[in-house]
Amino acid sequence: MKVKRAKATAPGQGDLFGVEQIAQIYKDHPNSALNNEALYRLVASRAGLGVGALDERVPIGASGQMHSIARRKIRWSQQSLKHMGVLCRVNGERGIWRLTEEAKRELNAAKPGVKVLGFRTELGVAVLGRSADIFKNLDVEVNLVVTSPPYALARPRRYGNPSQSEIVAFIMETLEPIIEKLADDGSLVVNVSQDIFMPGSPARSTYLERLVIALEDAGLSLMDRICWANLSKAPGPIQWASKTRQQLNVAWEPLLWFAKNPLRVKADNRRVLEPHTERHLKLIAAGGERREASYSDGAYRLKPGSYGAPTVGRIPRNVLMRGHRCAYGIQYNRAAQALGLPVHGAGQPLSIADFLIRFLTEEQDLVVDPFSGRQMVGLAAELLNRAWMCGEMMLQYIRGGAELFRDRPGFYLNPQIEQAFGRPA
């Protein structure tokens, strides 16, 4: 008779020993350092179990070694919370954990239906609230939506993110009222992750394909899948690339670009031309190509004099090489830390929004970001003389992002929000 071996799988959101449940225990003891045995007792008590229930051991893996699945899941959750910045080990102690100082400062999410002015400038406004509420019954025409919804991660981050099964419906619930107000020549760009895997498997999720179809069903047309190649991205996925070695490290994220009317879209690559390379400048100076050649069975022909005409710049490729760090991101982090606020864990550089806004809009157009986080899209629009409107449901992120606009014309910060957190030193 074969022994049935248990599979060791990472805990999910609904698991009794998942990250949310373990995090809550530490939050209920914010000033205490808990050793693992104390944590096991608290977990068992909350689950209505005897401590002995956590001691049940089963054979795991090819070796068949006996382990407690419950205790392993709890320790996995501890490690996940460590990477999320919620827990840290007590220095010099083994198996003793506590909340980080940052995690003691909870994020305050706006309740459903709440819409409050966060801050504004002469060009734009940031609103505290849930974007599904903020953008309902919008009475202005939107020229561009640039946004990065929470990723459908298996392990939730502190700012909250929907599960893989919920992500498409969650994104569409927010975007549909904005799409209704999208100008006929307008665009929508969604920065999403392709680094999402099926539970317990190195196979990637197809939620991106389902999202593309959902946006198409909402009346939009896919223009491109622009690649944001982030060469400073941390190695991952850890489980499938570094541990099982079944995957490659991910270095890019898709920017899904949709248009309301592809024939009328306001995109103009002349607004984002890049400098010619030194090699191409020399080719222009020499009068262009001197050779004649044919490629792809005659589909492409090179003639003498080709590329000899001077031009303003070269058309960018649909791969954007941008690191995630930028001067404004550093400024935001310093301001948030000075205010004693948690720093947003998903940073997109200003350069991504800057490129998309220049490419897809003209001055005075309205740019919208319903998942604004650090307010980088609003700031890029502000600096490019576009009107902007941002929605964010986390009070602390609105407050931290406001510091990026303090020197902009007409800056006004809601006094109640400013009084709640003060000003950075």
> How many beta carbons lie within 10 A of that of residue 67, not counting itself?
14
Contacts of 26 (CB under 8 A, 6+ apart): 34, 81, 86, 87, 97, 98, 99, 103
Rounded Cα gap, residues 40 and 34, in angstroms: 10
Q: What is the torsional sign of CA 320, 326, 328, 334?
A: positive
pLDDT of residue 238: 82
**In the block, which residue shows the tokens 């400062």?**
105
Tokens of 248: 């490659």
| Beta-bridge partner residues of 117 | 127
pLDDT less than 50: residues of the chain: 1-15, 156-159
How does 42-61 read in b/e, with b if 16+ C-beta sit within 10 Å? bbbeeeeeeeeebeeeeebe
What pLDDT score does 84 carry? 66
Q: Quote the CA–CA distance of 298 and 296 in Å, as a whole number.
A: 5
pLDDT recorded at residue 17 = 59
Per-position b or e across 126-149, b if 16+ CB within 10 A of its CB: bbbbbbbbbbeeeeeebbbbbbbb
End-to-end Cα distance, the chain: 70
Alpha-carbon Rg for the chain in angstroms = 25
Handedness of CA 41, 46, 47, 50 (dihedral sign): positive
Neighbouring-strand partners of residue 142: 182
Length of the chain (residues): 425
Residues 353/377, Cβ–Cβ less than 8 Å: yes
Give the chain's domains with CATH numbers.
19-103 (1.10.10), 115-262+315-421 (3.40.50.150), 275-314 (no CATH)
For residue 59, report the phi and psi dihedrals to the nearest 5 degrees. Answer: -70, 135
319 with 58: CB under 8 angstroms? no
Token representation of residue 38: 């104390």
Residue 117 backbone class (left: φ over 0; alpha: ψ -120 to 50; beta: rest): beta
State if pTM tops 0.85.
no
Beta bridge partners of 125: 120, 389
